[in-house]
């Protein structure tokens, strides 16, 4: 098991966990790009967006809902925030375990990339 996020799920690597249930875990990004930068991931190893199947769609809906609730809890829901999923090399995905970035707490750049 050399996946860094699977090791976070298994508590083999420490992280600042802010939420977890049976399917999803959320923790603070180790290299935050904004005052609030959380990662929301499925506990199951799904390599990237392109590996999602029809059966995974409820899981993705739950992840978005969890992100929205965490944005409220972190106090950035009113001001606004961004959910980002990088996919593949040209999409800027460095960790090959599907994850959603929740970023906020400052005015974010207008350009998406």
- Helix or strand (DSSP H, E) at 101: strand 100-104
CB nearer to Zn ion: pick between 15 and 76: 15
81 binds Zn ion (CB under 5 A): no
Closest CB 49 distance from Zn ion, rounded Å: 14
Give CA 73 to chain center in angstroms: 16
How many other β-carbons are positioned within 10 Å of the β-carbon of residue 69? 13
Using CB under 6 A as the criterion, which residues of the chain lie in contact with ligand 5GP when the complex forms?
Answer: 4, 13, 15, 27-31, 39, 86, 92-95
Binding site for Zn ion (CB under 5 A): 3, 5-6, 45, 97
């Amino acid at each position: 098991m050399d996946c860094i996020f699977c090791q976070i799920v298994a508590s083999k690597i420490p992280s600042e966990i802010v939420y977890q249930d049976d399917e999803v875990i959320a923790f603070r990004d180790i290299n935050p790009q904004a005052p609030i930068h959380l990662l929301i991931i499925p506990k199951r190893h799904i390599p990237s967006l392109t590996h999602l199947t029809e059966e995974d769609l409820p899981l993705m809906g739950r992840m978005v809902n969890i992100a929205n609730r965490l944005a409220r809890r972190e106090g950035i829901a009113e001001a606004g925030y961004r959910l980002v999923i990088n996919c593949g090399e040209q999409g800027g995905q460095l960790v090959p375990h599907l994850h959603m970035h929740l970023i906020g707490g400052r005015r974010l750049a207008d350009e998406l990339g």
